[in-house]
């Protein structure tokens, strides 16, 4: 492939290991239905076991058990999350996105020096993998299970935030630009492999230990040894500061002894100090820039309105996608089959998105996408059957794929380029907070016996109105960008990746979307 022309065989293996680690992260989304699955209930009434509803257990305190589990064992059934204990389940699900949000904040507020980036990435991945492998030991301890769930979500989000930086540091830019497309290929493949194996073994402990934790540990160890033995040099495409290292060391008050080491040719500490200095300056500049742009937005009503339109559409489509993973318990049928079908819907959405983006205007795609999705979701008020719910889940999966690319393309016309990074930062945080509320929202909708997709459908229809009220303020986004920036944004907006949000080549800042439960 031309993309990898000029790279060594070992560099290709390093890149492959990074992509395999990415694929191993897919179950963070597809495992949710297994983790919190609840089968049919039977109650002991008048000395015999009969089929019953959860409401009867709550009202009468019947002794109960889960039946017809289809070979699935879950946290919800093991910990008996019924009646008021369902609030514990909702809280556990809520803590996942909170951990992801904390990882996002950490990524934005602290930039890792290049010399330390590899070490931190492989260490947090090992922490994730080993923690998941330990769930077999601690499965009876709710506190430990929750802790592992938090670690899993944090590391998953942090890895996505850092991996593109790292690829940019060690590999040519043409590989960096192609990475979203490769990610979009390996992500659904990882999902298909996971769901296919899970079809034959429904134990969440087996999944976490052997299908997620162990592969992450193995691929991370391979990533480690391939990297430490490769003597990778920084990406030659990156511009190196022309300021002499020694002068920067003096500015940072580096000791005379370390300056002497520099003269003797021992510059490892000097390079680390230089990288630390550059990271600190860059980070302070980035945060200051965000604050100033935010102030500017507040004084421009049109741009502020477009920001809220973009934020509303993005958050609503992410809530619709995240809701699919919570909805499986109420679909009926064989849950493992339902999850497999949903993965196929997601894969078909990728190809549909590519086709639509080549033929139609982004605003038209968003308008009809939200309209159709909203009508299908609100139809659950009239028909709440398992078939209809599965149709809604499939529609939401496809809609998420199509909406992602459409919003990114439309955003270039809604806001000038300099505000896009700020828009992503704010929207990612709001999106995670909104997704965190979904378990509690479903708990309330279950109490009033209304399918919780109905409310999400109303929000989708509101998105139609938001899109109609938007105002184009940038007639030609390409004219705003320098050639390097445009090439990167063009590549990313054309790519059907669900995770990569945007890149600014001029500042080398990557902002990634960690909201999955995805």
For residue 69, what are the domain limits? 40-73
> Is the CB of residue 245 less than 8 Å from the CB of residue 274?
yes
The answer on 260 and 208 residing in a single domain is: no
Decide if 295 is inside a domain. Answer: no
| Beta-carbon contacts of residue 421 (< 8 Å; ≥ 6 apart) | 290, 502, 504, 507, 509, 511
State residue 511 phi and psi, 5-degree precision.
-120, 125
In angstroms, how far is the first alpha carbon of the chain from the final one?
32
Tokens 């590519």 belong to 354
The answer on 228 and 308 residing in a single domain is: no
Residue after which a domain boundary falls, among 73, 94, 119: 73
Q: What is the pLDDT of residue 1?
A: 52
> Is the CB of residue 88 less than 8 Å from the CB of residue 98?
no
Q: Do you know the residue count of the chain?
A: 518
> Is the CB of residue 389 less than 8 Å from the CB of residue 338?
no
The answer on 51 and 31 residing in a single domain is: no
Q: What is the pLDDT of residue 61?
A: 83
Cα–Cα distance list, 164 to 118, 318, 402 (Å): 12, 22, 23
Q: What is the pLDDT of residue 474?
A: 67
The answer on 329 and 352 residing in a single domain is: yes
Is residue 266 classed as helix, strand or coil in its secondary structure? coil
Angle at 39 between CA 36 and CA 45, to 5 degrees: 125
CA atoms within 13 A on the CB side of 25: 31
Sign of CA dihedral 124, 127, 128, 129: positive
Q: What is the pLDDT of residue 475?
A: 55
The answer on 426 and 363 residing in a single domain is: yes
Residue after which a domain boundary falls, among 24, 55, 73: 73
Give the separation between CA 411 and CA 366, rounded to whole angstroms. Answer: 12
Angle at 385 between CA 381 and CA 387, to 5 degrees: 120
Please count the structural domains in the chain: 4
Decide if 191 is inside a domain. Answer: yes
Tokens of residue 12, six digits = 């290709």
The answer on 152 and 12 residing in a single domain is: yes
The answer on 377 and 312 residing in a single domain is: yes
Cα–Cα distance list, 143 to 74, 137, 273, 283 (Å): 16, 13, 41, 36
> Is the CB of residue 142 less than 8 Å from the CB of residue 81?
no
> Rounded to an integer, what is the distance from CA 306 to the centroid of its chain?
24
CA-atom Rg of the chain in angstroms: 24
Largest Cα–Cα separation, the chain: 89
Give the separation between CA 418 and CA 217, rounded to whole angstroms. Answer: 39
pTM check: above 0.85:
no
The answer on 315 and 257 residing in a single domain is: no
Tokens of residue 291, six digits = 């604050």
- Strand 40-45 to strand 64-67: parallel, antiparallel, or no bridges (unpaired)? antiparallel
Nearest Cα to 405, choosing from 359, 442, 336, 460?
Answer: 359
The answer on 214 and 93 residing in a single domain is: yes
User: What DSSP string describes 267-288?
Assistant: -HHHHHHHHHHHHHHHHHHHHH
The answer on 54 and 90 residing in a single domain is: no
Q: List, for the chain, all residue ranges whose pLDDT scores fall below the cut of 50.
A: 233-234, 236-252, 254, 260, 262, 264, 478, 480-518
The answer on 178 and 89 residing in a single domain is: yes
Q: What confidence tens digit (pLDDT) does each residue in 211-270 have? A: 888 999 999 998 888 888 765 544 544 444 434 444 444 444 545 555 545 454 555 556
> Is the CB of residue 498 less than 8 Å from the CB of residue 513?
yes
Decide if 292 is inside a domain. Answer: no
Q: How confident is the prediction for the chain on average, in pLDDT?
A: 75
Decide if 470 is inside a domain. Answer: yes
Decide if 232 is inside a domain. Answer: yes
Decide if 506 is inside a domain. Answer: yes
Decide if 463 is inside a domain. Answer: yes
Cα–Cα distance list, 268 to 17, 239, 513 (Å): 27, 19, 34
Decide if 293 is inside a domain. Answer: no
The answer on 397 and 258 residing in a single domain is: no
> Is the CB of residue 100 less than 8 Å from the CB of residue 154?
yes
Q: What is the pLDDT of residue 238?
A: 44
Q: What is the CATH number of the domain that holds 134?
A: 1.20.1250.20
Is residue 49 classed as helix, strand or coil in its secondary structure? strand
Nearest Cα to 168, choosing from 518, 500, 513?
Answer: 500
């Amino acid at each position: 492939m031309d993309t990898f022309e000029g790279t060594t065989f070992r560099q290709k293996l390093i890149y492959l290991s990074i992509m395999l680690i990415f694929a191993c992260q897919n179950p963070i989304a597809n495992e949710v239905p297994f983790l919190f699955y609840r089968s049919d209930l039977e109650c002991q009434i008048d000395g015999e076991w009969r089929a019953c509803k959860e409401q009867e257990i709550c009202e009468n305190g019947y002794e109960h058990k889960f039946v017809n589990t289809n070979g699935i064992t879950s946290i919800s059934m093991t910990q008996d999350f019924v009646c008021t204990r369902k609030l514990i389940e909702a809280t556990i699900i809520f803590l996942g996105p909170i951990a992801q949000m904390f990882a996002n904040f950490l990524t934005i507020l602290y930039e890792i020096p290049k010399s330390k980036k590899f070490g931190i990435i492989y260490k947090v991945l090992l922490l994730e993998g080993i923690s998941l492998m330990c769930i077999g030991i601690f499965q009876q301890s709710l506190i430990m299970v929750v802790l592992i769930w938090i670690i899993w979500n944090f590391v998953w989000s942090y890895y996505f935030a850092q991996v593109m930086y790292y690829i940019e540091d060690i590999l040519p830019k043409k590989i960096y630009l192609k990475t979203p497309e490769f990610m979009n290929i390996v992500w659904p493949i990882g999902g298909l492999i996971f769901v296919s194996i899970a079809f034959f073994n429904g134990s969440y402990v087996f999944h976490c230990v052997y299908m997620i934790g162990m592969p992450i540990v193995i691929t991370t160890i391979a990533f480690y040894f391939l990297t430490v033995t490769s003597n990778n040099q920084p990406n030659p495409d990156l511009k190196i500061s022309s300021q002499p290292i020694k002068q920067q060391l003096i500015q940072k008050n580096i000791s005379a002894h370390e300056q002497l080491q520099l003269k003797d040719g021992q510059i490892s500490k000097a390079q680390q100090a230089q990288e630390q200095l550059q990271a600190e300056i860059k980070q302070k500049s980035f945060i200051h820039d965000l604050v100033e742009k935010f102030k500017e937005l507040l004084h421009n009503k049109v741009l502020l309105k477009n920001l809220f339109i973009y934020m509303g559409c993005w958050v609503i489509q992410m809530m619709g996608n995240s809701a699919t993973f919570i909805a499986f318990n109420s679909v009926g049928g064989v849950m493992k089959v339902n999850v497999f079908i949903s993965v196929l819907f997601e894969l078909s959405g990728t190809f549909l998105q590519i086709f639509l983006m080549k033929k139609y205007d982004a605003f038209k795609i968003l308008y009809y996408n939200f309209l159709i999705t909203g009508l299908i979701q609100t139809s659950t008020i009239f028909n709440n059957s398992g078939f209809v719910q599965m149709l809604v889940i499939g529609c939401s999966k496809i809609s998420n794929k199509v909406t992602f690319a459409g919003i990114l393309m439309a955003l270039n016309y809604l806001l000038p380029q300099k505000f896009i990074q700020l828009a992503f930062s704010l929207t990612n945080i709001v999106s995670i907070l909104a997704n965190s509320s979904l378990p509690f929202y479903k708990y309330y909708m279950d109490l009033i016996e209304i399918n919780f997709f109905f409310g999400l459908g109303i929000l989708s229809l509101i998105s139609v109105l938001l899109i109609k009220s938007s105002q184009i303020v940038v007639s030609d986004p390409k004219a705003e960008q320098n050639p390097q920036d445009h090439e990167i944004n063009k590549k990313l907006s054309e790519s059907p990746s669900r995770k990569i949000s945007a890149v600014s080549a001029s500042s080398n800042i990557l902002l990634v979307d960690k909201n999955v439960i995805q």
